[in-house]
Amino acid sequence: MSLDRLTPLIRRRSVVAKHLAEPGPDDEILQRILATGVRVPDHGKLGPWRLQVLGKPAQVELGDVFADVYADVHPDAREDQVAFERARPTRAPVLIVVSSRLHREHKIPEVEQLLSCGAVCQNLLNAATLVGFGAQWLTEWPAYDDRIKHALGIQADQHIVGFIYIGTPVEPPKERTRPEFAAVVNMLDELPGLSH
């Protein structure tokens, strides 16, 4: 087994959505990215997530919804601010909306179902990276607005877990500060909460 296979994931860095340009993945590659996305831990085999791949017309429609909602919430917003919101969903060639479909009456805890949704988002990022594209997982304010959920056909009691943008980076992403390994990873021979 070659440890070099891990290098692209160790070096993975989100690319800011506005720095993702054409070309995006073609249909065959996109299907493989999506297939990889849903290969996640799923306690109870519930499939508590949904993926919506928005084509350009749908991205434009969603941008109009973003702009309308933003202008309604911020009546004093400048035209350029509303225009920015209108352009938000069209920043990259591919936009995937990952939402929850939680089974709240099921014995599997809701938090485990949400973690499975998050794993979908991370798998999409990793898959895009491994086939040579850049990607970013965002939520931002639109993920928490019921009118935007409604426009996407997502029930108000569910969650938009992420907007996944995929495309070709126009510039290499900059590295960011990472936590020191020793500050976040502990190798344990004994449990710290038990007195011995």
Domain boundary assignment for the chain: 13-55+90-170
- pLDDT, position 67: 98
Per-residue DSSP letter, 171: S
- pLDDT, position 8: 86
- pLDDT, position 41: 94
Nearest to 167 by CA among 134, 128, 129, 123: 134
CA angle 158-60-18, nearest 5°? 90
**CATH assignment of 13-55+90-170?**
3.40.109.10
Beta-bridged to residue 135, according to DSSP, are 166
Residues of the chain with pLDDT under 50: none
H helices of the chain, in order, are 7-10, 27-37, 56-73, 79-87, 110-130, 146-151, 181-184
- pLDDT, position 196: 66
- pLDDT, position 56: 97
C-beta separation of 45 from 116 below 8 A:
no
- pLDDT, position 59: 98
Rg (CA), the chain: 19
Nearest to 111 by CA among 51, 159, 162: 159
- pLDDT, position 132: 95
C-beta separation of 158 from 175 below 8 A:
no
